[in-house]
Amino acid sequence: MEKLLKILKEIKPRVDFENETALIENGILNSFDMIQIINAISDEFVIDISAAEIVPENFNSIKAMWNMIQRLSE
């Protein structure tokens, strides 16, 4: 999860990703941030994130993103 945290901090350094649980719902991440995050996660973890996966439930927190990465890596 440290790699994921590093990616997120590079994109949005002022966000408390360890504790925030409503990144999408509270508008902390915008569409441009999401594109950057999806591309970075895809490259770093060598996974394909389909359009069906791009829902708030998978991106509202670092834990949700990590769970999605683990699931798509299987």
Please choose, from the candidates 42, 23, 25, the residue with its C-alpha nearest in 3D space to the C-alpha of residue 33: 23
The answer to whether residues 59 and 29 touch, using CB atoms and an 8 Å cutoff, is yes
The per-residue pLDDT for range 5-21, each reduced to its tens digit, is 999 999 999 999 999 99
Domain that holds residue 46: 2-73
Task: Report if pTM > 0.75.
Answer: yes
CATH number at residue 20: 1.10.1200.10
Interval 48-65: pLDDT, tens: 999 999 999 999 999 999
Q: Give SS3 for 32.
A: helix
Q: Give the separation between CA 12 and CA 23, rounded to whole angstroms.
A: 11
Number of domains in the chain: 1
